[in-house]
Amino acid sequence: MWIMVSGPYRAGKAGPGEQAENLTALNRAALALFKLGHVPVIGVNLALPMVAAAGAAAYDELMMPMSLAIAARCDACLRIGGPSEGADTEVAFFQARLLPVYHDLGEVPQPRAHRERADPT
């Protein structure tokens, strides 16, 4: 599955140190999903290079539209971390499409190929 990892990045206007910690947490969750056999996607990782190219003032113009555009291509969402309006918007997007939203890595099912190898019947 393609799974969006949603969580705080700039929640509450976090400073650069907190943003870096938040991004590390998102990327660690993505790595764990990848190791399970899924394709993880993080909207922040896709939008930040464009924000850097356009300038910080373009953050609001680019961040959520880019995150929701990639969310439209995903099969599920893994919500991590604390309060975040952006992450909650992503979760609501998945819920509106009746797609799974997981709140713990243990809830994420194995990819189909893994299940087929484990049970060839």
Q: Give the whole-angstrom CA distance, residue 58 versus residue 81.
A: 25
- To which residue do tokens 């995903």 refer? 74
**83-106 pLDDT per residue, tens:** 999 999 999 999 999 999 999 999
What's this model's pTM, rounded to 2 decimal places?
A: 0.89
Supply the pLDDT for residue 120: 47
Supply the pLDDT for residue 11: 85
What fold is seen in the domain 2-118?
A: Rossmann fold (3.40.50)
Tell me: pLDDT of 119 over 60.
no
**Which stretches does DSSP call E strand in the chain?**
2-6, 39-41, 76-79, 101-102
Tell me: pLDDT of 69 over 80.
yes
Tell me the pLDDT band of 52, cut-offs 50, 70 and 90.
very high
Find all residues with CB under 8 Å of 2, minimum gap 6, and list them.
Answer: 38, 39, 41, 73, 74, 75, 76
Residue ranges of the domains in the chain? 2-118
Supply the pLDDT for residue 64: 96
